[in-house]
Amino acid sequence: MAASQPSSTSEAQSPQPSGYSSDIVVEEDVPGPSAPWMNPRPSLQRSSVKRKRDWSSDSESEEEPDEEMVQEKEMATKPEWSVEKLCGLKMRFKRRRRSLVLPVHHEVFARLLEDPVVKRFLAWDKKLRVSDKYLLAMVIAYFSRCGLFAWQLRRIHFFLALYLANDMEEDNQAPKQDIFYFLYGKSYAERPMFHKLRYQWIRTMGWNVRVSREECEEIQSYDPDLWVWGRDRNHLS
């Protein structure tokens, strides 16, 4: 029995193979929750948790919308309201339409009023059969709906819009035929092209050709001192 059991002294004195360290590492079992197999590599777990928290905070910060963008979106989608009637302690509200007419459209209209052909046409229509203040206000409304840039609007677009305004609002269609005389003289060759352009003009507006009286008055209130707003049929003798 004694010969079969190796002694500790013989193990310590036994030669070590070359290339290996002579240090002996002894692992001891440590009981309790702090044992290494109960919580493997705690430092890596802490770093992974921290990294997850950092990633989650980064994703939250990236997904958080800008306050200014949210406010602008709310203002764009929020309807405008105005008080229409006040009866005692009750108020009646009316939803206001958001106008698409920009100052640049008023500037283009004022520029086209200085065109020599447009000036001669307005001077000829003394009885305001084709170009009273409401029909001219509709011209500005159509400028805002057609989708063209301000620098693209020319004389032909003024008469296209005025012709369309008479189509929508006037029962007597004969006076608007004089628009062709001021544009093309006595030639009839260009009239089919004019009607083709008018159809294209309506399509660019998405067939939205109805203009309310309220919108016309709103357009006139932008520059009430403009001389064409004095073209009122009620003031004719």
User: Per-residue pLDDT tens for 118-156?
Assistant: 999 999 999 999 999 999 999 999 999 988 888 999 999
Is there a domain that residue 118 lies in?
Answer: yes
Distance between CA atoms of 195 and 199, rounded to whole angstroms?
Answer: 6
User: What is the pTM assigned to this prediction?
Assistant: 0.60
Q: How confident is the model at residue 223 (pLDDT cuts 50, 70, 90)?
A: very high
How many domains are contained in the chain?
Answer: 1
- Paired residues of 91 in beta bridges: 86
Q: Would you state the torsion angle of the CA atoms of residues 63, 67, 68, 73, taken in this order, to the nearest 10 degrees?
A: 80
Is there a domain that residue 186 lies in?
Answer: yes
Is there a domain that residue 223 lies in?
Answer: yes
Is there a domain that residue 87 lies in?
Answer: no
Is there a domain that residue 213 lies in?
Answer: yes
Is there a domain that residue 137 lies in?
Answer: yes
Residue pLDDT, tens place only, 202-218: 999 999 999 999 999 99
Is there a domain that residue 65 lies in?
Answer: no
Is there a domain that residue 107 lies in?
Answer: yes
Cα 49–51–56 angle (5° rounding)? 95
Q: Which domain holds residue 175?
A: 103-232
Task: Determine contact, residues 106/98, Cβ cutoff 8 Å.
Answer: no
Mean pLDDT of the chain, nearest integer: 74
Residue whose token pair is 């009981």: 31
Distance between CA atoms of 183 and 68, rounded to whole angstroms?
Answer: 50
